[in-house]
Structure 1
Amino acid sequence: MSTLQEVGDRESWRCWLCDEPVDPDMSVNDPRGPSIDSINTAKKGAKGKGKDGVERLAHRACNTKKGAVKPVVPWPDRLFVVDPAPIVETVEQLKRKGGRVAVARCPGKTDAEDAAAWLLDRLSRLAPEQRFETQIDSAGGGFLLVLKA
């Protein structure tokens, strides 16, 4: 188990859920204070496997809100995306299987380019060990944003 300082330094003091800065000097009891989110990545019922935990930095409120359920990393309201895919589940799928997944539809090419730039930047911190690329395809009067591993 890592210390808060070790996890914070590794995560560059950014909340892995909301991607906002975390103040290391703020009280751990404050909603915007730092906390460690231990994510169990071991599959239930897997024989011979113990808890395969990953420790990530989160604001106390983000960690509490998430609870023990699958985390949700939101798409920002400033992006014009329709039917956005859940980011964490999509990343997990691409890590396991590779390939490509359509992650959103956008009405304009500029909207799709903005969403692609944001997504690649966000994933560089969410899953720094994985390399992703985006592709924008014209589809049905709009544009389809595709994420590739």
Structure 2
Amino acid sequence: MSNLSAVGDRDSWRCWLCDEPVDPHASVNSDRGPSVDGGGAKPKKAATVTERLAHRACNTRKGAVRPVVPWSPQLFVVDPAPIVATVERLRRKGGREVVARCPSRTDADEGAAWLLDRLSRFAPDLAVTTQVESAGGQFLLVLRSV
């Protein structure tokens, strides 16, 4: 297991699950305290485990199952795709995916900016761009691997 301070510094002291700040001085026994998450179900090769910073409560709630990374409640998106599954597919296959529908161009642009920012911390090794496409009175938010 890595040093908590090293993982926290690398992840800018933000929880990879909820994207909220983690207090480096909080007790590791506190719900909002720092913990190191090994990334979920055990991979076949221990060397492929990516340790990430998480609040103790977020890490405990996730357990050893695939995490759910929520979309921001401030966004107006319809049928948002699960972020974790989308990232996994883009890593495996590349290409593009429609990740949400939005009622206006402004909503889609806000969603695109938020998603790029969130993925820069959640999946920093995945190079992606966003695109907004007009489609029959709505706007599609598209994520494309680079």
- Could you state the TM-score of these two structures normalised by the residue count of structure 2? 0.94
Q: Deviations over 1:22-58 (max 9, x none)?
A: 0010000100000011025765xxxxx5233110000
Structure 1 runs (4+) deviating above 6 angstroms are: none
Report the Cα distance in structure 1 between the residues aligned to 2:42 and 2:92, rounded to whole angstroms.
13
Residues 40, 66 of structure 2: 8 Å contact kept: no
- When the two chains are superposed, the root-mean-square deviation of aligned CA atoms in Å is 1.3
CA deviation map 1:99-137 (0-9, x unaligned): 000000000000000000000001111111221101111
- Give secondary structure in 1 for the equivalent of 2:142: strand
State the one-letter code of the partner of 1:63: N
Q: Which runs of 5+ in 2 are unaligned?
A: none
- Tell me which residue corresponds to 2:138: 142
Deviates more, 1:65-74 or 1:109-118: 65-74
Structure 1 CA distance, aligned partners of 2:12 and 2:136?
41
Shift of 1:82: 0.3
**C-alpha contact 2:41 2:65 (8 A) present in aligned 1:** no
Quote the residue 2:92 is aligned against: 96
Q: Which runs of 5+ in 1 are unaligned?
A: 44-48
1:18 CA drift (Å): 0.8
Among 62, 65, 68, the residue aligned to 1:66:
62
3-state SS of 1:57 partner: strand
AA aligned opposite 2:50: V
Is the contact between residue 69 and residue 83 of structure 2 (CA under 8 Å) also seen in structure 1? yes
- In structure 1, give the amino acid aligned to 2:114: W
Q: CA deviation at 1:78?
A: 0.6
Aligned to 2:15: 15
Separation in 2, partners of 1:41, 1:62: 15
**Percent identity (aligned):** 68
Question: Which SS does the other structure have where 1:39 is aligned?
Answer: coil
> Could you say if the C-alpha distance between residues 40 and 59 of structure 1 is closer, same or farther in structure 2, counting changes exceeding 3 Å?
closer
In the alignment, what sits opposite 1:6?
6
- Is it true that 1:130 corresponds to 2:90 in the alignment? no
Hey, what does 1:46 align to over in structure 2?
Answer: none
- Please give the residue correspondences for 1:30-109 in structure 2 after superposition, counting only pairs within 5 Å: 30-39=30-39, 49-51=44-46, 52-109=48-105
**Does structure 1 retain, via aligned residues, the 8 Å contact 2:129–2:144?**
yes
Take 1:50 and 1:135, find their aligned partners in 2: how far apart are those partners? 35
Q: CA deviation at 1:92?
A: 1.0
Cα pair 1:41 1:54 within 8 Å, conserved: no
